């Protein structure tokens, strides 16, 4: 079983049929009763939200990071239990995987932001007239930028959101331009120590593709939607140049632990120092800290022998 901390994999698997957020009309309107609202086009359609919501609940670690990065942190009253960044986010026992509408309503939110519609949480909240923005797991880089833009529009921080996305684009472009050794190198990205991984079609896989890296798992993906489980024999046979471990926090993996697995001591990556420990969260979230994940890949590429 994949660890629950691997949010990128889990959420993409649950939300592949949903369209990512794609902005809104950007116009402030006056609704019945005189309240000002703005319309945002999210995964659950056109959503009318207060022009400057004051009680936001986030049920997505990625979106929690975004809300704070764009300057909306003071408007956030509660976040789910896995939203561990930034440290001052108001963490609660709310669950992103088994959301409970009644528990969310207790925080009297005027906006709820989430990444997936587990257990029909969107309709349950809409039924009690709480605006909900469903911003699914990004399937490509543009999706990540669009969702940050959506949250900026929804919270009254459109300018700050643009600054964040512009900075992300610039940082990623700089890293990729400086990493010249990646083309043709092969890699394996580990989600857990049971050898679940990603292929090139996933969000993470596309990030690796920026460097010209080739994914050894692509040929093994039959019907897993981009997240196959490899066998030890398959991985040893493919012998990737680089191994990225996105299970350092969840599963305690590192280069030394990897080398102790049967047959793995002969892998090129193990012998040549090509095993790269990653921060699980950076490798599984598609928000403002994405450039740090990209930088970790770029640094590893440049260190290859």
* Extents of the domains making up the chain: 7-171, 181-302
Average pLDDT over residues 125-145: 96
Sign of CA dihedral 244, 250, 251, 255: positive
Asked if 42 contacts 174 with a C-beta cutoff of 8 angstroms, the reply is no
Evaluate if residue 109 carries a pLDDT over 50: yes
Q: According to the model, what pLDDT value does residue 223 have? A: 74
pLDDT band at 23 (very low <50, low <70, confident <90, very high): low
What's the topology of domain 181-302?
A: Rossmann fold (3.40.50)
**Whole-number average pLDDT of the chain:** 90
CB-based contacts of 181, cutoff 8 Å, min separation 6: 301, 302, 304
- Interval 74-103: pLDDT, tens: 999 999 999 999 999 999 999 999 999 999
Angle between helices 290-302 and 158-178 (to 10 degrees): 10
**What percentage of the chain exceeds 70 in pLDDT?**
89
The rounded radius of gyration (Å) of the Cα atoms in the chain is 20
Evaluate if residue 30 carries a pLDDT over 80: no
| Distance (Å, whole) CA 218 – CA 152 | 36
Please provide the CATH number assigned to the domain covering 7-171.
3.40.50.1980
Both structure tokens of 90: 């108001």
| pTM greater than 0.85 | yes
Q: Does 7-171 match 181-302 in CATH topology?
A: yes
Average pLDDT over residues 109-123: 96
Tell me if the bond preceding 86 is cis, omega within 30° of 0: yes
CB-based contacts of 126, cutoff 8 Å, min separation 6: 132
Average pLDDT over residues 37-56: 95
- Interval 220-261: pLDDT, tens: 987 778 999 999 999 999 999 999 999 999 999 999 999 999
- Interval 271-283: pLDDT, tens: 999 999 999 999 9
pLDDT band at 10 (very low <50, low <70, confident <90, very high): very low
Average pLDDT over residues 159-164: 98
| Distance (Å, whole) CA 302 – CA 38 | 45
Specify the higher pLDDT residue, 166 or 10.
166
Q: According to the model, what pLDDT value does residue 167 have? A: 98
Q: According to the model, what pLDDT value does residue 5 have? A: 39
Q: Maximum CA pair distance of the chain?
A: 70
CB-based contacts of 197, cutoff 8 Å, min separation 6: 188, 189, 190, 191, 217, 227, 228, 229, 230
């Amino acid at each position: 079983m994949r660890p629950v901390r691997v949010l990128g994999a889990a959420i993409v698997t649950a939300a592949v049929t949903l369209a990512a957020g794609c902005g809104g009309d950007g116009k402030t309107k006056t609704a019945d009763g005189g309240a000002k609202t703005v319309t945002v086009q999210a995964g659950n359609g056109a959503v009318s939200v207060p022009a400057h919501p004051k009680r936001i609940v986030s049920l997505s670690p990625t979106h929690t990071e975004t809300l704070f990065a764009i300057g909306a942190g003071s408007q956030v009253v509660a976040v789910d239990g896995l939203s561990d960044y930034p440290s001052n986010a108001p963490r609660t026992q709310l669950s992103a995987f088994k959301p409970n509408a009644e528990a969310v309503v207790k925080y009297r939110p005027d906006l709820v932001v989430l990444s997936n519609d587990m257990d029909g949480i969107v309709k349950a909240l809409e039924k009690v007239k709480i605006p909900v923005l469903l911003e699914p797991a990004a399937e490509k880089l543009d999706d990540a930028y669009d969702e940050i833009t959506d949250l900026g529009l929804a919270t009254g921080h459109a300018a700050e959101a643009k600054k964040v996305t512009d900075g992300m684009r610039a940082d990623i472009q700089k890293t990729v331009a400086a990493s010249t050794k990646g083309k043709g190198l092969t890699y394996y990205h580990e989600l857990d120590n049971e050898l679940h991984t990603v292929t090139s079609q996933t969000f993470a896989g596309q990030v690796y593709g920026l460097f010209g890296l080739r994914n050894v798992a692509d040929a093994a993906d039959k019907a897993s939607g981009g997240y196959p489980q490899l066998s030890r024999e398959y991985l040893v046979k493919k012998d990737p140049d680089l191994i990225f471990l996105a299970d350092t926090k969840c599963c305690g993996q590192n280069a030394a632990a990897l080398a102790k697995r049967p047959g793995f001591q002969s892998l090129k990556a193990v012998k040549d120092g090509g095993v790269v420990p990653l921060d699980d969260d950076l490798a599984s979230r598609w928000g403002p800290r994405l450039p740090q994940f990209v930088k970790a890949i770029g640094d590893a590429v440049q260190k290859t022998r």
